[in-house]
Structure formats: structure tokens, C-alpha cells
Structure 1
Amino acid sequence: MVPWLAFDDPFPPVERALGASSGAPGLLAASADLLPARLIDAYGRGIFPWYSDGQPVLWWSPDPRMVLVPAEFKVSHSLRKTLKHVVRDPLWEVRVDDDFPAVMRACAQTPREGQRGTWITADIVDAYTSLHRQGKAHSVETWFNGVRVGGLYGVSFGRMFFGESMFAHRTDASKIALAALVGHLRRNEIEMIDCQQNTSHLASLGGREIARRAFVAHLRKAVAEPPISWRFDKSVLAGLIDTPAR
């Protein structure tokens, strides 16, 4: 039985999440509220919300957990060629937090293979925008000729980044944003990006699964560290361009 959380109820331990043999592996709890304080508490414990319109807020902590280690980011021959062009061409920009809610809305409106609709509801946009105003959520945006053509957003506490969603309106635009994020996190010696659940796209970029226990152990240390700066531009791509292709 998945517990229902009243307004001030704490989360149960993540070990109580439904297992692989259930119909919803990783499901931990449900609630009616999606307040910023609840979100902050959730991320600090290795829990995230994922639900659709018409459902209660569903809270998840899967085992294993998909992560991307910045040092293991895969730069293919074609992506490296693209990044070189982006660095040289002044029409390409990488902006940070230019318009966080717009990035969320673009992610919500981007069709996903095998999905109908979106989990990025109006309540989700409001809640994460509140975190953004507190300096706890950020967008990395790819711009071409003055137009936002791709990007991503996520949550950042201490020395931990929790990736949420990406979009692209131009070939490789989301990969450029992700590469810029990885370059920035490498500069700041961030060891892990939370990717939540396994996808073939993330695996192709170097993502891999680790045990939830290992993820939570790293998380507890990382979120207790001082936050990093979130000022950077496309110059962070230079280090990735010099990385041997994989």
C-alpha cells in the first residue's frame, strides 16, 4: 500500500518504495500538495515527483537510479564536430536562466515517443519556477541567431544537479545544452547528475544505473556542500571538444 501524505506528513524511507515486481517500481508515496518546501525535502532524500493531470502527486525513488557522471559523458565524432562549430560561430549562444518558465513550457510541449501528453503540468511549472526564484533550479538554453532552439532544466542543491527535461527545436540543440551543463559541472568538480530513470538516449550519452543505496549515500554528502555559481557561457564547451571521441 502506497501511503498518502497529509500536508505535514514526512516522506517514508526510500527503501519502502515499491519493488521491481510491482506494477509501479519506485513509487513511494502520494500527496495532494506540491509545495516548494516539499520539493526541496524530496530532492534531498532522493525522491522526485512524476504524475499526470488528473492524478495525485506521485513521489518516486527507483532502484536502480540512472545517473550521468560528467567525467563519463560521451562525445561522439558528430557531436564534437557540432560543438566545434557552435564555439566558433557567433550566431550560437549558450545562456543560463534567460527564461526558466519558457524552457519548462517548451519541454512540456515537445512530443515524446511513446508518451501522450506531458507530466509537466501547470502546477509543476509553478512549483519549479518557485524553486528557480530561490536559486535552486536552473535552465541551460541553446540559442541560434537570437532564437531559443533548445535547452534543459533541473534542480541544483550544493554540489548535485538533478536533471528534469530537455527539448530541441533544431538538430542537436538539446545535446549542446547538455554538453554545456556537463562542461560547467566538470569545471566545478561535480561528480554526478541525477537522471532519475533509464532511457536509451541517456545511455548513449554515457548515463548508467547505480544502486539507490549508492546514489543516496552520494547525495547526502553532495547536497551538504556550498552551492556553485551558475554563470557560464559556451566557452565551457572547449574542454569537451578536446575530449577523445567515444
Structure 2
Amino acid sequence: MLDPVQLLSAYCEGAFPMGDEDGRISWFRPPYRGILPIEDFHLPRRFERYLPSHPFEIRWNTAFGDVMRGCADRESTWITDTILDSYQELHRLGFGHCVETWRQGKLVGGVYGIAIGGAFFGESMFSRETQASKVALTHLQWRLKERGFIVHDTQWTTPHLAMFGGHEIPCAEYLDLLHRAIRLPATFDDRFQRAQIVVR
């Protein structure tokens, strides 16, 4: 398992880990960083019409490990056993969070990530029903805005995230924004007693 303090410190400096197929951990800090705007979050018109009548129940932080396993359930994944164990420990410490979409008592979608100050580091999402992950992502964005977050880091930008306004900024610009964000007194979930981390 990765050391939690080392892992959180790496996030504060713009780096993040991914597991390799052979079990090794590789660290990344891309020259351009994907972000999803919080204040100017964009809802595609068709999805915006669908949203008020979506059939899902939204839950927070009730099935963190299951959300991670749902994200890992694909042909090729960077979510190795080491990553799974390490992030579940961050969840236990109050830094790892997830939003879940449920239907008829079954987990059908979700998003998970790490929160430090006013920065949320989105890690992955999954969907077992149409629109389930989009609904989870939208509720996540609403919560981040409500609670004073200013950064939603998505690592890279995908066509899926671009639909919601996701784009890339230079690493230097991202680091300036990140260092302001991690000093903010934002709290993702009041039920979790967040561990302390020294932010330099």
C-alpha cells in the first residue's frame, strides 16, 4: 500500500499514481492538465432536459470500495490491488470520496476521487446503466460548487468530459490554481473527520 502522507503530498504538487499491469506504480504530472469547471459547468441540452426525471437514487460515501471496483471492471485498468488498497485507506482517513447512483437497490454508477482543501482530484467513473455516471458527475459538480471548491482535476480531458466543459490548461497554470485551492477550508462530507496534512 502506498504511504498516505506521500500520496497526498504528491497530489499537492500535481502528481498522481497509476498502476501498471505488472504491478508497478508509475507517477505522472502531464505538461497539460485536464480540469472540469465548477462555476461554469456545462450541461449538454439533451441531458439537461433528462436530468430532472432521472430514475437514480444519489448516495455519498456509502460504497467507496465498490465504486472503485466498478471503475476497475474493464478490459484494461490502472486500478490495481495496490491502488485499491491505498485509496480505500485515504477514504478511511477522510480524503477519499465518492458519489453513487443506485437503482432498485443496486449500484449502477459512480465517481470517486480525492479531496484536499478546495481541490477535488477526480480519479475515475463507471456506469452500468445509461446516464448513470453522467448523473453522478453532475451531482458531484453541484456539491463542489456548494461547498466552495475551486478545482476539479480530471488529469486528462476526454470527449466525454469535454461535453461538460472539460479542457486542459498548462501545468504551471494548474499548479498556481492548485496551490491556492488546497489551502481553502472546504469540506466534502461533514460526516468524515478529515485527517491533517501539512500544506507547504
So what's the TM-score if we normalise by structure 1? 0.74
Counterpart residue type for residue 24 of structure 2: P
The equivalent of 2:64 in structure 1 is: 100
Secondary structure of 2:126's counterpart equals strand
Determine which structure has greater relative contact order: mean sequence separation of CA pairs < 8 Å that are 6+ residues apart, divided by chain length.
2
The runs of 4+ residues in structure 1 deviating greater than 2 Å are none
State the partner residue of 1:63: 31
Distance in 2 between residues matched to 1:38 and 1:53, nearest whole Å: 22
Residue 72 of structure 1 corresponds to 40
The structural deviation recorded for 1:174 is 0.2
Q: Deviations over 1:62-107 (max 9, x none)?
A: 0111101112222122211221103xxxx63110001100100010
Could you report, residue by residue, the CA deviation over 1:172-207 in whole angstroms, capped at 9, with x for unpaired residues?
000000000001111123222000012111112210
The Cα shift of 1:55 comes to 4.8
Q: State the partner residue of 1:131.
A: 90
Query: Residues 203 and 229 from structure 1, CA distance in 2 versus in 1: closer, same or farther, beyond 3 angstroms?
Result: closer
Alignment partners' CA distance in 1, 2:103 and 2:39: 27
Counterpart residue number, 1:193: 152
Structure 1 counterpart SS, 2:125: strand
Structure 2: 5+ residue runs without aligned partners?
A: 192-200
**How far apart are residue 129 of structure 1 and its match?**
0.3
Shift, 1:121, TM fit: 0.6
Aligned partner of 2:20 in structure 1 is 52
Contact 1:104 1:125 in 2 (8 A): yes
Distance 1:188 1:156, change over 3 A: same
Distance (Å, rounded) in 2 between the aligned partners of 1:117 and 1:157: 28
**Deviation for aligned residue 1:159:** 0.6
Q: Deviations over 1:117-161 (max 9, x none)?
A: 210011101000000001001010011122111001000001110
What's the CA shift for 1:54?
0.9
- Counterparts of 2:53 and 2:71, CA distance in 1: 25
Contact 1:158 1:226 in 2 (8 A): yes
Assess if the C-alpha contact under 8 Å between 2:19 and 2:82 holds in 1. no
Q: Secondary structure at the match of 2:19?
A: coil
- Higher-Rg member (1/2): 1
CA distance in 2, matches of 1:132, 1:99: 10
Shift of 1:209: 0.7
Question: Paired residue for 1:170, among 107, 122, 129?
Answer: 129
Compute the displacement of 1:231 (Å): 5.7
Compute the RMSD of aligned alpha carbons: 1.6
The aligned residue for residue 143 of structure 1 is 102
Partner of 1:36 in structure 2?
A: 4
Q: TM-score normalised to the size of structure 2? A: 0.90
SS in 2 for 1:58: strand
The one-letter code sitting in structure 2 at the alignment partner of 1:206 is G
Cα distance, 1:52 vs structure 2: 1.4
Residues 125 and 55 of structure 1: is their aligned pair in 2 closer, same or farther, counting only changes over 3 Å? closer
Once residues 51 and 165 of structure 1 are traced to their aligned partners in structure 2, the CA distance between those partners, rounded to angstroms, is 13
Unaligned segments of structure 1, at least 5 residues: 1-32, 233-246
